[in-house]
């Protein structure tokens, strides 16, 4: 796609048009949830273009590269699309689109698994109930928290966002030498929380002890049976707090979702180990794709 074609900064104004295109996607990974795009837009210099019945997404920082287009991939004549007639590179391409492109482009397409970007998908009932030996340690930590604290779980509303922002600022301040990734995440969290009431599809929850927010989580609906968790932070001075916020937030959804997508590990070994310890039921694979 030529860089001369007009891309615009991702904004709240067109979020409903984007969500309509997203609903038509045969497969939706966490990257393309609107709050994710909006939250990380400044860090990655994300822009978009509505054309050809699709939403084209371009990352401009630290380099210029395309993400997968959003829309109904099954209704596109990919081989006849002029913007894909020459060399092109894409990242974060969901497996379903990569398969469609393999059929459309044949030997022109070269795809490589992007393991660091695979989404971890879990069973909601399993994470709420924490039954069996595979969740024994998690259940123990949850029980320790619930027996040691008089706590309150409440759904996140716009009127408690300032408290959550304060808790996030505290959490970030506890990191002695925050990495660039943590600094960027902190900025993305702030951007999302400050627009909580304008991002219509957000879901959230808080855990309080003595009236103070000690944990929060923010997510949104990804498709009709899956939700995605974008951010989750807890005060680790309360043992078992992460198990508590995870369990009570998912339980509060009242069986709306069968699965929860907890995003990728980005190749961080500690994060990978933590995500695997919750026993994912599947992965959503993504690819880096090059068209010759």
3-state secondary structure 67-133: ECCECCHHHCCHHHCHHHCCCEEEEEEEHHHHHHHHHHHHHHEEEEECHHHCEEEEEHHHHHHCCCH
| Angstrom distance (rounded) from CA 196 to CA 216 | 13
- 276-287: per-residue pLDDT in tens? 999 999 999 999
Residue 124 banded pLDDT, cuts 50, 70, 90: very high
* 186 phi, psi to nearest 5 deg: -60, -40
8-118 shares its CATH topology with 120-263: yes
Mean pLDDT of the chain: 96
Looking at domain 8-118, its CATH superfamily turns out to be: Gcn5-related N-acetyltransferase (GNAT) (3.40.630.30)
Does the pLDDT of residue 89 top 80, yes or no?
yes
pLDDT digit string (tens) for 52-77? 999 999 999 999 999 999 999 999 99
Alpha helices in 108-240 (DSSP H): 124-129, 136-148, 161-173, 180-194
Per-residue pLDDT at 200:
83
Say what the pLDDT of residue 138 is: 98
pLDDT at position 201, please? 85
pLDDT single digits (tens) 190-232: 999 999 999 988 999 999 999 999 999 999 999 999 999 999 9
Written out in words, the top-level CATH class of the domain with range 120-263 is: alpha beta
The whole-number average pLDDT for the span 234-257 is 97
Looking at per-residue pLDDT, the higher value among 5 and 155 belongs to 155
CA distance 1 to 14: 22
pLDDT at 3: 40
Q: What value, to the nearest 5°, has the Cα angle with vertex 266 and ends 261 and 272?
A: 70
Per-residue confidence (pLDDT) for residue 83, from 0 to 100: 93
Has residue 1 got a pLDDT over 90? no
Give percent above pLDDT 90 in the chain.
97
Domain coordinates in residue numbering, the chain: 8-118, 120-263
Q: How far apart are the first and last CA of the chain?
A: 13
Mean pLDDT of 169-189: 95
H or E element at residue 212: strand 212-223
Residues in the chain: 292
């Amino acid at each position: 796609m030529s860089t001369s074609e007009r891309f615009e900064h991702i904004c709240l104004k067109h979020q409903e048009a984007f969500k309509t295109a997203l609903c038509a996607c045969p497969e939706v990974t966490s990257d393309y949830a609107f709050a994710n795009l909006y939250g990380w837009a400044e860090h990655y210099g994300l822009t978009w273009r509505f054309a050809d019945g699709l939403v084209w997404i371009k990352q401009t920082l630290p380099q210029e590269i395309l993400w997968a287009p959003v829309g109904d991939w099954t209704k596109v004549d990919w081989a006849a699309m002029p913007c894909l007639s020459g060399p092109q590179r894409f990242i974060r391409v969901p497996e379903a689109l990569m398969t469609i492109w393999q059929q459309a482009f044949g030997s022109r397409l070269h795809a490589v698994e992007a393991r660091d970007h695979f989404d971890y998908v879990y069973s909601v009932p399993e994470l709420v109930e924490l039954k069996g030996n595979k969740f024994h340690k998690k259940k123990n930590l949850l029980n320790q928290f619930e027996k040691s604290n008089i706590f309150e779980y409440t759904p996140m509303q716009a009127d408690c966002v300032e408290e959550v922002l304060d808790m996030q600022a505290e959490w970030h301040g506890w990191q002695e030498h925050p990495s660039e990734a943590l600094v960027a995440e902190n900025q993305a969290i702030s951007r999302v929380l400050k627009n909580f009431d304008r991002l219509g599809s957000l879901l959230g929850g808080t855990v309080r002890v003595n009236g103070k927010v000690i944990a929060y989580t923010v997510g949104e609906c990804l498709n009709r049976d899956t939700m995605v968790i974008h951010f989750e932070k807890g005060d680790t001075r309360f043992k078992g707090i992460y198990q508590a916020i995870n369990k009570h937030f998912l339980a509060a959804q009242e069986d709306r979702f069968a699965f929860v997508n907890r995003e990728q590990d980005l190749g961080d070994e500690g994060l990978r180990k933590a995500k695997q310890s919750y026993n994912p039921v599947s992965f959503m694979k993504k690819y880096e794709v090059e068209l010759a």
